[in-house]
Amino acid sequence: MADQKSVLLVIGGGIAAYKCLELIRLLGKSGIRTRAILTRGGEQFVTPLSVSALTGEKVYTDLFSLTDEAEMGHIQLSRSSDLVVVAPATADLMAKMATGQASDLATTALLATDAPVMIAPAMNVRMWDHPATQRNLETLKKDGVLVVGPDDGDMACGEFGPGRLAEPEAICAAIRAFFDGAENKPLAGRKMIVTAGPTHEPIDPVRYIANRSSGKQGYAIARALAKLGAAVTLVSGPTRLPEPEGVTSVQVESAKDMLAATEAALPADAAIFAAAVADWRVASAADQKIKKQDGDLPDLKLAENPDILATISQLSEGRPNLVVGFAAETQNVLENARLKLGRKKCDWIIANDVSPETGTFGGDDNRVHILNGEGNQTLPLMSKEDVATALAARIAEFFHGK
């Protein structure tokens, strides 16, 4: 690592806190600078003096220390390191992180940080196995938090099972692996939402309104973003595609379902709306199959579906920093896409020609135009995987330095 990397270590309460002293030593040997926040619980097991002696830095303990606020400030402290590591991450700390609490310096810094976060859980096996802890763990993972351990083994309480803090060597190795891969993972710590596929709008229990989208482009984008380190939530309409590895997949059917799932996945750094959402639905879907009646055609009244792209683009609070829409056109591709960019108020529009002769819908290749407020870029015909790779690289470039 050419530049020295730095870690903000949050030391939670628990007998395993003593292992953090060895972790600090190992990080120092690896050329990684450590600054520490010691919680009140952590102070019961290790002292500020011992932590400070190993880090060579002031140890922070009190949110309301005027001296510390003048010298550092909890906001600056939370954002002055390349990675925030919580070890041991107690059940209490995990619960507070999952629910966004800010009751002391540690939790305030964790809520205010814009750096990636890694936790090393440690607690009694029953506490680890409790449904509440497992729910909190899944929430943290969904938020992009990295997890190391816990290990199985004997515990100080006399029980055996999962809940032991991972060994300092293992935690150090995970931190080094994170930094070693950081250059190839420019979106690490970023949360992204991708929508993909068609939506199915029910007419009755056996019929629906749909379109020809296969979902291939959206799935490829989700994979490409995940490869660059992003925590990706893929909200997919009905497809025949396998769920991408390393991606959180949410399966939906209708446009209303897709909007609800997208809103539930917020906040996010970016949202890429590659789904081909049906513009209309039947206003009142029938509860039973509509039967033929002597040649009389059913009177299907249509209603407009929610506009997911416009809804997210125009959020007054919690809007992603980058909102990308897709424009599937059959004529006047660039002109219609430019109009859509202004109408939806998104940041970029990815336009493509989906006329039957192009084979784009359902096919493996695509030719796209990337439009934003500065102009447009046309990519040559290429595979949808290559389109996704190019788009992911452009998104990473957008977030570089932010």
Residues 323-339: pLDDT tens digits? 999 998 888 889 899 99
Per-position DSSP letters for 30-91, written without gaps between them: TT-EEEEEE-TTGGGTS-HHHHHHHHSSPEE--TT-HHHHHHT-HHHHHHSSSEEEEEEE-H
157, 369 contact by CB (below 8 A): no
Phi and psi (nearest 5°) for 243? -65, 135
In 216-294, beta strands by DSSP E: 231-236, 248-251, 270-273, 280-282
345 is in an annotated binding site: no
Active-site residue (options: 20, 157, 172, 346): 157
**pLDDT (0 to 100) of residue 70:** 53
Q: What is the DSSP string of 108-149?
A: HHHHH--S-EEEEE---HHHHHSHHHHHHHHHHHHTT-EE--
Topology, domain 6-184? Rossmann fold (3.40.50)
Is 157 a catalytic site residue? yes
d(CA 277, CA 132): 35
- What local confidence, expressed as pLDDT, does residue 2 receive? 42
In contact, 310 and 259? CB cutoff 8 Å: no
DSSP 357: G
104 is in an annotated binding site: no
Q: Is 326 annotated as a binding residue?
A: yes
By the 8 A CB rule, do 93 and 12 touch? yes
Q: CB pairs under 8 A, 24+ apart, for 43-46?
A: 44/13, 45/13, 45/14, 45/15, 45/17, 45/18, 46/11, 46/17, 46/18, 46/20, 46/21
Is 121 labelled as part of a ligand binding site?
no
Residue 292, marked binder = no
Please list the residue range(s) of the chain that carry CATH number 3.40.50.10300.
Answer: 191-396
Q: Would you say domain 191-396 falls under CATH 3.40.50.10300?
A: yes
Residues of the chain with pLDDT under 50: 1-2, 66
Task: Confirm or deny that 289 is annotated as ligand binding.
Answer: yes
Listed in order, the ranges of the chain carrying CATH 3.40.50.1950 are 6-184
3-state secondary structure of 98: helix
How far is the first Cα of the chain from the last one, in angstroms, to the nearest whole number?
Answer: 21
pLDDT at 66: 42
Longest CA span, the chain? 89
Helix spans in 228-370 (H)? 255-265, 308-313, 333-344
The answer to whether 308 is annotated as binding is: yes
CA angle 245/249/254 to nearest 5° reads: 145
What is the C-alpha separation between 48 and 332, in angstroms, rounded? Answer: 67
Residue 163: how many CA atoms within 13 Å on its side-chain side? 22
- Identify the pLDDT of residue 278: 94
- Helices 168-180 and 19-29: crossing angle in degrees, nearest 10, is 40
Q: How far is residue 114 from each of residues 43, 65, 393, measured CA to CA in Å?
A: 26, 22, 21
